[in-house]
Chain A
Amino acid sequence: MTDTYERAQLRPAPESFLDPKLSNEIAADGVDERRRGLLRGALATAVAGMSGASVAADDPDIVNVPAWSRSLGKSVATNPYGLPSKYEANIIRRQSPGLTQTDQASVAFTPLQSMFGMITPSGLHFERHHQGWVDIDPRRHRFMINGMVKTPLVFTMEDLMRLPSVSRIHFIECGANTALEWGNSAVPTVQYTHGMLSGSEFTGVPLSLLLERAGYDRKNATVILAEGADGSSMTRTINIENALDDVLVAYGQNGEMLRPENGYPLRLVVPGVQGVSWVKWLRRIEVGDAPYAAKDETSHYVDLMPDGMQRQYTAIQEAKSVITSPSGGQKMLSRGYCCITGLAWSGRGSVKKVEVSTDGGRNWREARLEGPVLPKALTRFNIDWGWDGREALLQSRVTDSTGYTQPSRPALTAVRGTRSIYHNNAIQTWRLNPSGEVENVQLG
């Protein structure tokens, strides 16, 4: 679309000095020890070639010692709460224009294309609110457990933070993540296709402990209802097995308190289950013996099947993965070595394997899982690749600890149609064009 690519080629990265044979080998089989050696050799040659090429190649950012090397830096606590560099100003949560008509019942997507590792900085954690967000005074926040319990209880934040806590790393994904992509390619970047996804370390009290404390009805309880303290007082029904297993009543996120947009001072953490059940600004848990058919279990968050039947109480986020770089809207600056990176996760367990295809799913190679690989947590994967400059169709697919493998889009839509909105975990395809531009596409 522009000449960025050509301009970039004026100063090629040293990696571009690979001979085509090595490049093709890496493309086909990845980097092994021998090829790694050849890569290093090629790199050294390239660098030597550059430095010897001409005096004009002197880098002004080296030979003219920059201002920051010749001046006094800023004081400690200039920003008492630290902020990202001003050069990172592009990396923010963004809305998808036209997705919703009101900003209070809307979504701001996490910029997955620019993130590393498995943790989402709290300030970039995606936002999905149903009636706006509130900033609750923690001294006035109360948490109640009632329903089928021996003693209905009230807790203050002080009470909850006094109780034994656990910290767990988990992903949270909105049930409607990738909803725009059921029928066709609709949005340009991974921020919009997959950005209702974040990973954090959450700290809080196991709900099981609080249910024990209240004396829940072990014999008859089958569900809990979680309810928020905001205007919408959103409610969701949660399976009692989940509630007793790994659900947390959480106040901490990534070492600090939850952000208001993420439910400060208290939210439910329901690992593996869609984000809508992680009720924010949590004020109440009710123990019950029948599901509650809340608005977001009957009018929304029901999965419409081709026969007109709606699947109700679809909770689990099945295994899913996506390549985050190179991804839609990005541009490859040079041929040769490229580390394809992405995220994989499963609501049923841990990531066992991620495979990557560069030819639209004909051939697959196993990617490296960058540890730690934790249950119901984002798992970073990387794979070495040599781009030969030709069109490529990039895909990733995950297999989880239950043996389940992420389906292709045609396989998924053959059963569920294209109008179910929720739980689209199909394999994503990015087309890398010879120009270096990457775009969101769907295959037959």
Chain B
Amino acid sequence: MFSWVKPLSGVLLVSVSVSTAASDLAEGIADIGRPATAAEIAAWDIDVRPDFKGLPAGSGTAEEGEELWLEKCAFCHGDFGDSNEVFSPLVLGSVTEDDMESGRVAALTDPAVVRTTLMKVSTLSTIWDYINRAMPWNAPKSLETDEVYALVAYLLSLGYVIEPNFELSNETIEDVQAIMPNRNGMTTDHGLWSVDGTPDVVGSDCVSNCAVDTTVTSSIPAYAMNAHGNLADQVRDYGPFPGIVTDPDAEGSTDAEGSTDRVAAPASPTDLLASNGCSACHQQQGRLIGPSFAEIRARYAGQDQARYLQQKIRQGGSGVWGSMAMPAMAQVDDAALEIIVSWLSE
């Protein structure tokens, strides 16, 4: 009755050669995963394609969107969508009437012009989809459908694509797509979509006495060498390739032990007991290999034995608690030693 059992186990033996036996396997795993419900699909399938497949019905005008924009969007994008403070501008830059006519924004060829969203984007669905799924920045997916329409309309009106009173809706959105400034500005004529695409530029295979210009045309100016911080602190400070000290004030900062950024916050006594190996032989209550910390504390209670204890820890010893010798704990650093002993003396 489980007719798929045999092919499935056969497939598993050859470590899942999916390409040859996928169908058998798919049958074998037919009870793993369950059908999605209509409500589940509706909740998650929110994408809108360039042909507006997936676009929910609704509408909004720029006039309606303005208030919402100022409340939820202007903080990052500016009142007019032209801010460069947090993100690249959405609607600044040069879109001409000729561009609107041709559907190609000519200013994209001008290196001096900042590329804005409305200059680049060819498909209006992209803007609707993205605002709907990811905006506002700190509260994604909180907008109502009509609010998304109104905000898209406001953005388009800022870029003079539509009038402020234009009602953007699932009925009218295709009319606006037809006048998007850069609607013809995309190409898929390149070799990078599929693995077997044809490359547009291939390097030389010359191996000796190649005719190349080895003039250095660009390097990082000395004043900018420290713009990413002291490079000496960004590589291993030992080995054949240490870093260049680019911060004159950081001289000596590469010393592994001395660098201040390595010093952690003061650790708790119990952490230190564990990290320094004390708890390998001592526990809080009851004998392990050595006496418990409670016993030690009781023996030295009320006595000024800090120095003695420090010495004992550092140098080790035997005879005080029995014949088992305590090794010298030379690895306990001074700060840790002080914390542990003061804790023991409490």
Contact = CB atoms under 8 A, between A and B. Distances in A.
Contact of A233 (B15, B134, B204): B134
Interface stretch (A38-46, A52-60, A120-128, A180-188): A180-188
Nearest to A175: B192
B246 interface: yes
Interface string B255-292: 01001011000000000001111011000000000000
B303 interface: no
Contacts of B30: 213
Interface residues of B, number: 121
B322 interface: no
A437 interface: yes
Given A330-B235, A364-B208, A419-B111, A212 B214 contact: no
Contact of A146 (B41, B104, B140, B280): B41
B33 interface: yes
B185 to A, nearest CB: 6
Given A152-B41, A159-B32, A96 B197 contact: no
Given A101-B85, A189-B228, A315-B192, A75 B111 contact: no
Contact of A329 (B15, B25, B26, B235): B235
A408 B233 contact: no
Nearest to B139: A231
A170 interface: no
A407 B201 contact: yes
A1 B246 contact: yes
B200 A241 contact: no
Interface in A77-99: 78, 86-91, 94, 96-98
Interface stretch (B60-68, B158-166, B323-331): B323-331
Interface in B33-82: 33-36, 40-41, 44-47, 49-51
Contacts of A71: 327-331
Interface string B197-210: 10111111111111
Given A188-B228, A284-B45, A152 B236 contact: no
Interface stretch (A17-25, A255-263, A377-385, A409-417): A409-417
A427 B207 CA distance: 15
A443 B217 contact: yes
Contact of A318 (B33, B192, B204): B192
Given A159-B32, A440-B220, A331 B237 contact: no
Given A75-B279, A290-B49, A326 B219 contact: no
Interface stretch (B120-128, B145-153, B293-301, B304-312): B120-128
A239 B234 contact: no
B215 A443 contact: yes
Nearest to A111: B234
A239 B12 CA distance: 27
A64 interface: no
B194 A316 contact: yes
Interface string A400-444: 000011111011101110010001000100010000011111111
Given A397-B203, A405-B203, A410-B213, A332 B240 contact: yes
A10 interface: no
Contacts of B200: 415-416
A310 B120 contact: yes
A70 B41 CA distance: 65
A201 interface: no
Interface string A118-141: 000000000000110000000000
A74 B185 contact: no
A38 B189 CA distance: 56
Contacts of B218: 184-185, 441-442
B227 interface: yes
Given A153-B34, A332-B240, A308 B214 contact: no
Interface string A136-160: 0000000010110001111100010
A308 B187 contact: no
B44 A293 contact: no
A113 interface: yes
A144 B108 contact: no
Nearest to B109: A308
Interface stretch (B16-24, B168-176, B337-345): B16-24
A240 to B, nearest CB: 10
Given A292-B49, A329-B231, A361-B214, A308 B244 contact: no
Contacts of B237: 90
A71 to B, nearest CB: 4
A164 to B, nearest CB: 4
A293 B192 contact: no
Given A101-B87, A440-B219, A316 B203 contact: no
27 contacts: A71-B327, A71-B329, A90-B235, A91-B236, A111-B234, A144-B36, A166-B16, A166-B18, A188-B231, A208-B18, A227-B44, A233-B46, A284-B45, A288-B49, A292-B47, A293-B50, A293-B122, A293-B125, A295-B134, A298-B120, A302-B186, A307-B109, A316-B195, A329-B234, A407-B201, A411-B204, A431-B216
